[in-house]
Amino acid sequence: MKITDHIKKANGETLFSFEIVPPVKGKSIQELYNNIDPLMEFKPPFIDVTTSREEYVYKEKDGLLDKKLTRTRPGTLGICASLKHKYDVDTVPHVLCGGFTKEETEYLLVDCQYLEIENVMALRGDARKEEKYFTPTKGGHQYATELVKQIQDINEGNYLHDTIESNELSSFCIGVAGYPEKHMEAPSLQSDLKRLKQKVDLGADYVVTQMFFDNQKFFDFVKAARDMGINVPIIPGIKPIAVKRHLQLLPQVFRVDLPQDLIDAVEACENNKEVRQVGVEWAIQQSKELREAGVPVLHYYSMGKSDNIKAIAKELF
């Protein structure tokens, strides 16, 4: 079922969902299941599965270092299929511009059709680790707008090199990213919102936001988006702080601000167990206020261990 239909069916009730990251290549999927199992009692209608960019690794060969491009966490679509089968839940693969040619994207979407995966999150993707800025892959897309267009074209039967006349066309429900504190490369929030509007005009059905820690930033973002004519559901993404290092890491990687009260509470902690608890309590307060404001879904970034997401969900769902 489409995410937008789940939202309609919920009839104003706020839904619970979360995002997971594929395991490192070679590791069993069991650990993922062990972390997802405790969350299923909160009945998420969908689970997102991220896609990671390929990266360079260096292997010693004949006394020299051999540089190889590899993906350390492959398997997004396989995980989506396996979770769908195991839990009877909709899964949302993240589809990236970076690292994929348009043809590879087309084949991935064809696989999604066969697997009855109806939702996809269309993203540009991060720059590769050794790059300062995102560089488009040869034969791939530069911006998420182009990817949204490709998916929408397929929904209309227009593949890259063929037009298919059929009564069984796909109708992917397309999610895109939004940034309450603006995307790091955007010259202003207003210009970033214009790009978001383009994604919606090209066929995106809903928006999931980058993490934020001050709800007012989300409320302002939603208002600005509505004023600009973006009328699709906007789903807040919530990340509970889990370790002290997040105070530096999250602003650096995601360009988000942390409220002083949260910083003070984390700094006062003696160990990361206490930090995890502070993160849970902050996320519960954020979630309660967002739910009261009528958000369609509370979407959590789980990043591995799920005990904190469970503690939050228990208070809300």
Ligand X SMILES: Cc1cc2nc3c(=O)[nH]c(=O)nc-3n(C[C@H](O)[C@H](O)[C@H](O)COP(=O)(O)OP(=O)(O)OC[C@H]3O[C@@H](n4cnc5c(N)ncnc54)[C@H](O)[C@@H]3O)c2cc1C
Residues of the shown chain interacting with ligand X in the complex, contacts defined by CB under 6 A: 50-51, 53, 94, 96, 123-126, 143-145, 177, 183, 185-186, 192, 195, 208, 210, 237
CB of 223 to ligand X, least distance (A): 19
CB of 229 to ligand X, least distance (A): 17
Decide whether 122 or 258 has the Cβ nearer to ligand X.
122
CB of 254 to ligand X, least distance (A): 8
Decide whether 96 or 312 has the Cβ nearer to ligand X.
96
CB of 76 to ligand X, least distance (A): 8
Residue type, 82: S
CB of 163 to ligand X, least distance (A): 26
Question: Buried b / exposed e across 231-269, counting CB within 10 Å, b at 16+?
Answer: ebbbbbbbbbbbebebbeebeeeeebebeeebeebbeeb
HSE-CB of 33 using CA atoms within 13 angstroms: 10
Quote the CA–CA distance of 53 and 125 in Å, as a whole number.
Answer: 7
Q: Would you state the torsion angle of the CA atoms of residues 14, 86, 111, 209, taken in this order, to the nearest 10 degrees? A: 30
CB of 185 to ligand X, least distance (A): 4
CB of 143 to ligand X, least distance (A): 4
Decide whether 239 or 275 has the Cβ nearer to ligand X.
239
Quote the CA–CA distance of 15 and 68 in Å, as a whole number.
Answer: 42
Decide whether 125 or 265 has the Cβ nearer to ligand X.
125
Decide whether 195 or 244 has the Cβ nearer to ligand X.
195
178 backbone dihedrals φ, ψ, rounded to 5°: -130, 155
User: Are the beta carbons of 62 and 54 closer than 8 angstroms?
Assistant: no
Decide whether 222 or 265 has the Cβ nearer to ligand X.
222
Decide whether 199 or 278 has the Cβ nearer to ligand X.
199
User: Are the beta carbons of 49 and 19 closer than 8 angstroms?
Assistant: yes
User: Are the beta carbons of 241 and 275 closer than 8 angstroms?
Assistant: yes
Quote the CA–CA distance of 219 and 22 in Å, as a whole number.
Answer: 31
CB of 51 to ligand X, least distance (A): 5
User: Are the beta carbons of 301 and 281 closer than 8 angstroms?
Assistant: no
Decide whether 80 or 278 has the Cβ nearer to ligand X.
80
Going from the C-alpha of 260 to that of each of 122, 182, 209, the distances in angstroms are 33, 20, 22
